[in-house]
Amino acid sequence: MLETENLLEETVVHKLFGAGIIRSAADKYLEVDFPKKNKRSKFVYPLCFNGFLMLENEGKRAEVQKDLEQWKAESGAVRKEILRRRSEKTMQEIEARKAAAKEKKLREARRAMEYRSAYNGAKREKGAGRIPQGR
């Protein structure tokens, strides 16, 4: 596992805050200065490199990626990610079924309206040919 002290003064990029510099590393926390935003933030190592931060130094980025993969395996994050994806897929399937059922109901309603319209039209035509009876 990479010693977090080896990351001091390394440049990172954050999605929202932009470029920053790692100023301190204690336990499992990294403190990063973002000069353009005039902000200092604390991040949990190695989780912060799972979508929040990216190291500019490619050599250290590979080491951090190894730590991140090990952390994922130990914490069950890989299993959680698989379950999350499965859940998303299931929800998409449910939404697709709901949409298909709604479309089927709409088709049936249109068909019923067309039938009623045709039936009433035929009924009117049949009734128009009759001679009214005197009272």
Give, in degrees to the nearest 5, the angle at Cα 10 between 41 and 56: 100
- What's the CATH code, domain 4-75? 2.40.10.170
Strand, helix or coil for residue 134: coil
What is the pLDDT, as a whole number, of residue 134?
A: 58
Is residue 46 a contact partner of residue 40, using CB atoms and an 8 Å limit?
no
Instruction: Specify the residue for token string 């999350």.
Output: 84
Give Cα 112 distance to the centre of its chain: 39
Average confidence (pLDDT) per 10 residues, the chain, 135 residues: 84 94 91 94 92 91 90 79 91 96 95 88 69 58
Per-residue pLDDT at 82: 85
Q: Considering only CA atoms, which of 27, 32, 36 is closest in space to residue 5?
A: 27
Locate the domains of the chain by residue range: 4-75, 77-126
- DSSP annotation of 119 reads H
